[in-house]
Amino acid sequence: MTSFGRVISVRGSQARVGLMATGQMPLSEVRATVGRFVSIRCLTSVIVAMITEVSCEGLPESDAYIATASVDLLGEILGGERPKFQRGVTNYPTIGDGVELITNQELRTVYAPSGSDQINVGTLQQDRSVTAYVDVEEMLSKHFAVLGSTGVGKSTGVSLLLNEILKSRPNLRIFLLDVHNEYGRCFGERAQVLNPRNLKLPFWLFNFEEIVDVLFAGRPGVPEELDILAEVIPVAKGLYTQYQNSDRVSLGLKRVDPKQIGYTVDTPVPYRLVDLISLIDERMGKLENRSSRIIYHKLISRVETVRNDPRYAFMFDNANVGGDTMAEVISHLFRLPANGRPMTIMQLAGFPAEVVDSVVSVLCRMAFDFGLWSDGVSPMLFVCEEAHRYASADRNVGFGPTRKAVSRIAKEGRKYGVYLGLITQRPAELDATIISQCNTLFTMRLANDRDQALLRSAVSDAAANLLSFVPSLGTREVLAFGEGVALPTRLRFKEVPPHQLPRGEATIATVPSVTAGHDMHFVSAVLERWRGATSHRDVPSSDSGMNERPQRTMASAEAPMLQPSMGLDPDRFSLLKKPLR
């Protein structure tokens, strides 16, 4: 191809190019516009650059040029026979070097998979015949985020990315927090789907802040009651351990000294609710003053109310029997062993609204702690939809422990093989330190100025020039930046087949077809979900705002309880039987 321009100045990683009308093609056909890749022919290499500005103003004093373009120098293609692309520039262009629109072959060289660890996510916007690959290792180990306004194809993109990752990393565990219960069918046999009906998450796995959040339904606890709880929980844990170690009959409640046992309120060892209540009762019995007894009474009834609420059955099953099921719970949640299903979809929309935050906190904390205590032997990707709800930039929004747990994975997870994938429609409302840890960003259309400003601060200068496209991207269109992609790239996600499209459960199960109309069965199914959702509190709001709670579905009491998959190697999990902290 003949040059359509020449380098007229070079400054740092930028250059100015004079565009000529004398090439074989008129400039309008070359379409030298912002966001396009060009190649600059140097002596020993071809520099890949991107046009960031095109202008007719301030033309050099020469008739040779009809316009100028600013370009960012992004990388270079080296080698003759077997060309290879590398990021960054070692040989700078000189004045007069020819500039061409990048060829299809050169684009292929830039995006050629450098190893087997690449997944195919779509095609380049500039040239649809070139496949866009993402480096899985880079994308996972340094965390990633999918950002975009509502309806632009984020969830569909996530289904695509995770399906590709499953193919390329069969040993990776994937844990997906499915806030709207829409991913149930996207991964077929490769994923187990958990919901309040088949999840077992014993209450004793909740740390102090989490169990307080459950008992007080998301409101701040009463300080006097919290003091009592903080005192009796470690004692109840100590009691349980003593039951395990010796003859129960020979032990009285009084003989346990919590300080000697060494458990804290947060140690993840079991305790029984009967013990907890009798410890509270015992303390209450020693009080003379009737008015101070009221506090104890209230606390006991608070524990009993939650324990008897069928919606909390996933936490309080066997609450009085005990049993250290931590190994089973973890093996079930995190697919160890995977048995051909390395993925878990955690459907959150069926949980009581006031408990979702604590459940997410427990799950996130356990994912990290398992990685930590197992030295990352089983790498796991933790994917969180609507991440701004769980890790909000505003410290007054959301549940502190959840933010702490997400932030811990973001900051330290990679050391322990725990990787994070965050999805949000409001990046500006996501904790900035957490998003700054995501080194591969898939940015889809974002209309809001604050979100765009945040992105500008999060990406490199070269990529920042692409961000001006963000408000005008079409559905499925993505700007991909960072470690996972060879260059900041405008691409289009692959067409996702219908069976992998995320869809609400109501839509899948009950809507027959648009033409057939809605029958009574459909209305009854809607009513069932509706009643389940509002039996206790809030109606889902139509505003998808920060304080929005997930839509509720009914946790049907008669649904079968699945048993956690057993078949564990006890030695491998012996670690979990010991106190972890």
Ligand X SMILES: Nc1ncnc2c1ncn2[C@@H]1O[C@H](COP(=O)(O)OP(=O)(O)OP(=O)(O)O)[C@@H](O)[C@H]1O
Query: Which residues form the interface with ligand X (CB under 6 A)?
Result: 148, 150-156, 160, 425, 475-476, 493, 495-496, 501-502
* Upper half-sphere CA count for residue 311 (Cβ side, 13 Å): 23
Question: What single DSSP character describes residue 33?
Answer: -
Answer with the entry of Mg ion, ligand X, none that 425 interacts with (C-beta below 5 to 8 A by kind).
ligand X
Q: In one letter, which amino acid is 548?
A: E
Q: Are strands 144-147 and 84-87 parallel, antiparallel or unpaired?
A: unpaired
Tally of residues, the chain: 581
Spatial contact of 130 and 48, defined as CB atoms under 8 Å apart: no
Using the minimum distance from each CB to ligand X, give the nearer residue, 300 or 356: 356
Using the minimum distance from each CB to ligand X, give the nearer residue, 122 or 268: 122
How far is residue 69's CA from residue 35's CA, in Å, rounded to a whole number? 11
Q: Is 368 helix (H, G, I), strand (E, B) or coil?
A: helix
Helix, strand, coil percentages (3-state) for the chain, rounded to 5, are: 40, 20, 40
Residue 545 CB neighbours (<10 A)? 11
Spatial contact of 368 and 330, defined as CB atoms under 8 Å apart: no
Compute the least distance from the CB of residue 147 to ligand X, in Å: 10
Show the site string, 58-87: x = touches Mg ion by CB under 5 A, - = not.
------------------------------
Compute the least distance from the CB of residue 152 to ligand X, in Å: 5
Q: Is 137 helix (H, G, I), strand (E, B) or coil?
A: helix
Spatial contact of 159 and 312, defined as CB atoms under 8 Å apart: no
Answer with the entry of ligand X, Mg ion, none that 495 interacts with (C-beta below 5 to 8 A by kind).
ligand X
Compute the least distance from the CB of residue 176 to ligand X, in Å: 13
Show the site string, 142-181: x = touches Mg ion by CB under 5 A, - = not.
-------------x--------------------------
Compute the least distance from the CB of residue 165 to Mg ion, in Å: 18
Calculate ∠ Cα 114-117-118, nearest 5°: 70
Whose CB is nearest to ligand X? 153
Using the minimum distance from each CB to ligand X, give the nearer residue, 179 or 463: 179
Using the minimum distance from each CB to ligand X, give the nearer residue, 408 or 476: 476
- Among residues 214, 217, 213, 270, the alpha carbon closest in space to that of 241 is found at 270
Show the site string, 25-44: x = touches Mg ion by CB under 5 A, - = not.
--------------------
Using the minimum distance from each CB to Mg ion, give the nearer residue, 34 or 506: 506
Compute the least distance from the CB of residue 453 to Mg ion, in Å: 23
Q: Is 132 helix (H, G, I), strand (E, B) or coil?
A: strand
Q: Is 342 helix (H, G, I), strand (E, B) or coil?
A: coil
Q: Tokens for 579?
A: 């106190």
- Stated as kind and residue range, the H or E segment containing 449 is helix 449-458
Using the minimum distance from each CB to ligand X, give the nearer residue, 183 or 382: 183
Compute the least distance from the CB of residue 569 to ligand X, in Å: 39
How far is residue 410's CA from residue 142's CA, in Å, rounded to a whole number? 9
- Stated as kind and residue range, the H or E segment containing 440 is strand 440-443
Using the minimum distance from each CB to Mg ion, give the nearer residue, 181 or 378: 181
Compute the least distance from the CB of residue 158 to Mg ion, in Å: 8
Answer with the entry of ligand X, Mg ion, none that 381 interacts with (C-beta below 5 to 8 A by kind).
none
Answer with the entry of ligand X, Mg ion, none that 568 interacts with (C-beta below 5 to 8 A by kind).
none
Using the minimum distance from each CB to ligand X, give the nearer residue, 7 or 174: 174
Q: Tokens for 196?
A: 């309040």
Whose CB is nearest to Mg ion? 155
- Among residues 521, 536, 190, 214, the alpha carbon closest in space to that of 350 is found at 536
Q: How many chain residues interact with Mg ion (CB under 5 A)?
A: 1
How far is residue 479's CA from residue 472's CA, in Å, rounded to a whole number? 11
How far is residue 421's CA from residue 419's CA, in Å, rounded to a whole number? 7
Calculate ∠ Cα 501-504-510, nearest 5°: 110
Using the minimum distance from each CB to Mg ion, give the nearer residue, 174 or 212: 174
Using the minimum distance from each CB to ligand X, give the nearer residue, 154 or 169: 154
Using the minimum distance from each CB to ligand X, give the nearer residue, 398 or 502: 502
Answer with the entry of Mg ion, ligand X, none that 156 interacts with (C-beta below 5 to 8 A by kind).
ligand X
Compute the least distance from the CB of residue 97 to ligand X, in Å: 39
Answer with the entry of Mg ion, ligand X, none that 569 interacts with (C-beta below 5 to 8 A by kind).
none
Answer with the entry of Mg ion, ligand X, none that 148 interacts with (C-beta below 5 to 8 A by kind).
ligand X
Max Cα–Cα distance, the chain, nearest Å: 102
Compute the least distance from the CB of residue 501 to Mg ion, in Å: 11
Answer with the entry of Mg ion, ligand X, none that 221 interacts with (C-beta below 5 to 8 A by kind).
none
Q: Tokens for 261?
A: 């046992």
Q: Tokens for 104?
A: 């299809």
Compute the least distance from the CB of residue 529 to ligand X, in Å: 18
Compute the least distance from the CB of residue 447 to ligand X, in Å: 12
Answer with the entry of ligand X, Mg ion, none that 476 interacts with (C-beta below 5 to 8 A by kind).
ligand X
Interacting residues with Mg ion (CB under 5 A) = 155
